[in-house]
Structure 1
């Protein structure tokens, strides 16, 4: 019996993932900002405060680095760069475990407003979000009922375990209006927020109880399916970029440690067994960086044929790389790696928390199997 295997290969020019002077300059700027304002001690301290991140750091990320405006078209008040450029920011943010709502507000939330049926109607909100004056939470996997009366739309329902829900001013969520799915923005000013216990201390969650919350439909039924699918891919690729940054950071810090740690009169990094494990971490890092960069690059291409498979592959490769690297970092740091004071467990908490929130490598591989028909 002959077996037939279907293969999927990248269709875009491989040069789209090559580094550029502009992106490396952007990476340098972000890395310098993190070195000044986001050491692990500073990040840890901000996760224990309200609202779970540093408001001054968030303000600077948007007012000076203008990360939210980076991938917003110029005609809508942004800088008109691509998601590939934003990926550089996401890698560095992942490496530092920044707890600020970058994924929800600066990435997916902004892109949802950009794709509104009437961009002008949400222009004022988009401007405030790009300046960091308003924070968006996103719940593409939640549905809340919408009711319209006297020309006013309101949301009633429960949005559970929303990331950054306790700090958000507005929620981008799937709504049901007249029996049809739509994408809506809900004002959270008067909504009750109930914090959830979380594994990842750098990403807080909350249940949002919506009772007559003012809402606005931004994408109607005609475009709903396509827009939500696009936003889902952007979110998945953005998480993959963060995971690639985590894997990269953990390789660097682990190599540094094993070169310093002495045993039997020599650094433990000189032992062959340690070298093999470090080599595996390095391979994981390079695969993750390439996969994440390619996924974000094809998202910038119009009608790229392989965008779905590229994003799914990035999700699988990067989630696995970050998880393996987190476990290896803890092991290779020895006893200190198991302590509360060390940063290693924060990285493990992040990747395990992301698996629960966004789906891990196993779910991504299931998506790949469906896409290729196996």
Structure 2
């Protein structure tokens, strides 16, 4: 064959280009190998959010998950810098304590899991924390208030909100001053949360000199009808309800439909859009206590509020902020235990101890804040050292109006 025009003897016209391509491919292959090797050696750290993601309580459960997600995004760069791959595992408890056994198996079976935010409800918290006792994992509960939860000696359990006893003390004094009731009827929805809150509320009302004329658990239509008959027969001039949002709405609507117009007061279970929607116009005038404030009333929460709205195109319930704060505590504790040592993975026991050492002062300004609800640290039982109890009232359109704020310290 003849030579190509312009080529040199014995040299293929594409030889130089082929060699360059070969070198480029080898370089790209080396880079890919390096990247894959780095990813393969990244230490995985998992944290978990536990809340109802299906069923009637799913709306608030999704808020929990979103709050946890926002905290995770905030801390991911710090973990990546230390050679860790940080992952969130959202678990669905369906608001049902009977799922604790299944969930504890998942949690204890994955050694990458170092901490839990949640669950949302006191009954599920109690069941899950008890199930985890043989092989504990750090827990930070954003909204569970039952007094017994911090009396079990669980060194792995901590919570953000004021317990029922603190809320009941504030609420009883407030209701006495506002309504001057003579005869109060108390109703629970038969949940762990409802039963615990109504028990301490009866005691606090009595301490305020207010007579409790009756108490009954009501979670079915038949039980609600029974409650209605008793309220009428005992001539109660105020009804206090302890329990969840939809159960509260059912009792309130039955009262108003049955001609009972006396004031209706409750705990923070009614602090939800689901209650307002289910109760309709009857929600107006309902007074309730809460360990969480409307986010618009917290100057340090405005950055969180803006990001939540932009990311999820929705208005957050205060429980989303509580989950955000709880996850921040968990991740800060983990980072503190890592101590800047690249690749170090703390043990579950180390994270448990580190959570109890977290001490966040109140934020100033309106920038990013990890604890917008106020200073955050825990005592030896897992109670928050400084917390608040808010008294609120639903106005027109179900808009909560802040009536008072009390600070409690331990």
Taking structure 1 as the reference length, the TM-score comes to 0.26
The structure whose Rg is larger is: 2
Taking structure 2 as the reference length, the TM-score comes to 0.24
